[in-house]
Structure 1
Amino acid sequence: MRRKIKVMIVEDSLVVRELLKHIIGSDSRFEVIAAVDSAEQCLRLLQTEHPDVISLDIRLPGMNGLDATLQIMAKRPTPIVVVAAQVDDDELNIAMNALRAGALSVVEKPVGVTNVDFEALAAKLCTQLAIMSQVKVVRQGIDRGLRFGSADGTPQAPPPPGSFSMLGIAASTGGPQALVQLLCGLGEGFPLPIMLVQHITSSFLDGFVSWLSGATPFKVKIGHEDELPEVGTIYVAPIDRHLVLIHGRLSISDGPAVCNQKPSGTVLFNSMARELGRKAIGVVLTGMGADGSEGLAAMRTAGAYTIAEDASTCVVFGMPSAAAKLGAVREMLPLPTIAPRLKALVGPGVTP
């Protein structure tokens, strides 16, 4: 008989806490081993209890969800799913910073069994808890130094600086914290427009965009139809739509999901391969699943420069691993070395 997934619930509202116990406890995959009303109590219990995953509220009495995430990841790293109500900018900001601190995903809090979205939100919560419980949470890897070589270790001469006109990035689980490190490493003088697909709960997309804009030296916005990409700006795929490039401008597509994702990194990368060929750079960061791998393969075939995050720094090595297996990756690099590599590729002060 398969062992049940042990869940700890941290939620200060008694009504919501009992509701979460009911939702999670009714799923045969789970065993709720504790349900507490504060982060402090959670940390005390972690000295003796060993949950496979933690459902963590954001707004708590005393220590909030961000500080709790920092403490948990420092003292007893455990997969954390942030469960937040989309109530105000402050709560969204805490949720996004919790992702940066090491939480794996953020989902909307299911409240009110009569709410039209209750069943869908409850199912989403259980799905995320089950998936994230399987993630081996580790502290971030050490900078091993910049490696100029192919994914299989064969030395390769980099192309001349200034040969590129756009950077595309795809990320999923663990993406927010990886993105902040990468984008801050690029700096405000990075000379290419950036297209981004980040898998995130749709109700938190606006908060994610606002948070990323404040946490990095770039202007960050949701991409719009027929927009001309500009240097210094990151264009994020909109809710439930694909972000693509057509004739040098952004286009928003309502096509089918790819790798069960919409937006999809593969759809973005395929369009960059068609439109830009060898003038594009594609990067796949940490994430569960295989999204982005086929698109990155199309980019490499078209002559683009392709990079994937190395397993040593990934929260989840799924997407980079899938890309590597397809032969899509020219370089596999630890996260701290990706920004220096990109800066070396594009050269200083180059405009597309």
Structure 2
Amino acid sequence: MRSSPQSRVRVMVVEDSLVVRQLLAHIIARDPRLILAAAVGSAEEALQEIGRVQPDVISMDIRLPGMDGLEATRRIMSEHPTPIVVIAGSIEDSALRISMNALRAGALSVVEKPVGVTSAGYDGIAETICTQLYIMSQVPVVRQRSFAWRTQAPETSLRREEATGTARPTILGIAASTGGPPALAKILGAFPADFPIPILLVQHMGAPFMEGFASWLDGLMPLEVRLAQDQEIPVAGKVYVAPGDRHLLLSPTGALRLSAAPPLSSQRPSATLMFESMAKAAGPKGLGVILTGMGEDGAIGLAELRQAGGYTIAEDESTAVVYGMPAAAIRMGGARVSLPLDLIAPRLLRLAKGDGE
């Protein structure tokens, strides 16, 4: 049954190319969940119209005449907080850097820009755009969310456990989805270059953007960040990012494995598979963290890691942009503690150094 126009998600398209703007309008018009509220050619026009149009979600181009999409995102999140989906037409370094910084400034996700109805993969790209616009329209956003975190909540101990006897970790796994890039930048950026254990990272993001995402993170912090390679041995002080459309696993021998196995819960890479492999390979020496994100990916795997004796953390609701993944981890018994974002990095550093909780 088709949704009524009143119940559809109102989309504002910000795109300087008339051809692409019309193509996005066509894509949106075909989806019964969405309705085009406005289509503008510049960031300045978007800022003028947003108060009148009051969209539920914004499709934001990055390369715009005058004010670019990054500055537009900052302004919108400051003046008219609205969910923003970045539509990136290029994966060259400069465009990717702007896209990643837009995520840090408050945009919720980044997806490929469609080329044309006859281009390869058009239907899949169109479906991804519509689904992202619909899903992200449901995310509550707050003014200047990226720059001023909500009031910090105290640590929540989910079950009284003895801190003594915790094994010194040899591997850290982190999972994130919606809202993940700025949270990861905050946590990983707090670690020194000599962080004593390797870090595995699953971030849900379109495959074409993963190399740029890793490069962007690498430029923000002392740690080396790069895409994981099959069969390499992870070393301390390096962050290994799951490549696009591949599961990242830790083998019993301690080597990394990339897998093209089917998606789990519609996700490849799957955080659950990463945590499950850590549970088997590292057991009580595994350290796992679930950050902000939609859905339940990682929750089952984190529970297995905890059952194997590993130390597990879920981000607290007070700082999570989307509380889906951490909430699922807590509900399934996978999190030993729940911490607001500002407390996660100090806890991880103490644990990695063997200093306890």
**Interval containing the TM-score (normalised by the shorter chain):** over 0.9
CA distance in structure 2 between the partners assigned to 1:240 and 1:120 by the alignment: 14
CA contact (8 A) 2:57 2:84 kept: yes
Q: Deviations over 1:103-129 (max 9, x none)?
A: 110000001211122111111101110
The more displaced of 295-304 and 179-188 is 179-188
| Equivalent in the alignment of 2:86 | 82
Matches within 5 A, 1:201-280: 201-246=206-251, 247-280=253-286
| Equivalent in the alignment of 2:17 | 13
| Equivalent in the alignment of 2:189 | 184
CA contact (8 A) 2:63 2:69 kept: yes
| Equivalent in the alignment of 1:144 | 152
Deviation, structure 1 residue 162: 7.2
Deviation, structure 1 residue 12: 0.5
Q: Deviations over 1:21-77 (max 9, x none)?
A: 111122221111111111111111122221110000000011111111111111111
Change (3 A) 1:328 1:179: same
| Equivalent in the alignment of 2:177 | 172
Alignment counterpart, residue 38 of structure 1, candidates 38, 42, 54: 42
CA distance in structure 2 between the partners assigned to 1:347 and 1:20 by the alignment: 50
CA contact (8 A) 2:311 2:336 kept: yes
Structure 2 runs not aligned, ≥5 long: none
| Equivalent in the alignment of 1:289 | 295
- 2:332 corresponds to 1:326: yes
Query: 3-state DSSP class of the match of 1:257?
Result: coil
Change (3 A) 1:324 1:257: same
Deviation, structure 1 residue 273: 0.3
Query: 3-state DSSP class of the match of 1:313?
Result: coil
Counting aligned pairs with the same residue, the percent is 52
The more displaced of 103-112 and 159-168 is 159-168
What TM-score does the superposition give when structure 1 sets the normalisation length?
Answer: 0.94
The code of the aligned residue for 1:151 comes to L
Change (3 A) 1:42 1:327: same
The code of the aligned residue for 2:81 comes to P
| Equivalent in the alignment of 1:70 | 74
Structure 1 runs not aligned, ≥5 long: none
Query: 3-state DSSP class of the match of 1:48?
Result: helix
- 2:105 corresponds to 1:98: no
CA distance in structure 1 between the partners assigned to 2:47 and 2:158 by the alignment: 40
Deviation, structure 1 residue 188: 2.2
Change (3 A) 1:159 1:188: farther
Deviation, structure 1 residue 160: 6.7
| Equivalent in the alignment of 1:54 | 58
| Equivalent in the alignment of 1:317 | 323
CA contact (8 A) 2:207 2:244 kept: yes
CA contact (8 A) 1:79 1:103 kept: yes
Deviation, structure 1 residue 198: 0.6
Q: Deviations over 1:145-178 (max 9, x none)?
A: 763x5225x4x45347871111000111111111
Q: Deviations over 1:273-322 (max 9, x none)?
A: 01111111100000011000000000010000000111111111110011
Query: 3-state DSSP class of the match of 1:185?
Result: coil
Query: 3-state DSSP class of the match of 2:111?
Result: strand
Query: 3-state DSSP class of the match of 2:52?
Result: coil
Deviation, structure 1 residue 144: 2.7
CA distance in structure 2 between the partners assigned to 1:165 and 1:116 by the alignment: 43
What TM-score does the superposition give when structure 2 sets the normalisation length?
Answer: 0.93
CA distance in structure 2 between the partners assigned to 1:287 and 1:179 by the alignment: 12
The code of the aligned residue for 1:278 comes to P
CA distance in structure 2 between the partners assigned to 1:87 and 1:186 by the alignment: 28
CA contact (8 A) 1:166 1:193 kept: yes
CA contact (8 A) 1:81 1:103 kept: yes
Deviation, structure 1 residue 187: 2.8
CA contact (8 A) 1:162 1:347 kept: no
The more displaced of 232-241 and 156-165 is 156-165
The code of the aligned residue for 1:328 comes to G
Matches within 5 A, 1:297-316: 297-316=303-322
CA contact (8 A) 1:10 1:37 kept: yes
CA-atom RMSD in angstroms: 1.8
CA contact (8 A) 1:161 1:344 kept: no
Deviation, structure 1 residue 328: 0.6
CA contact (8 A) 2:152 2:318 kept: no
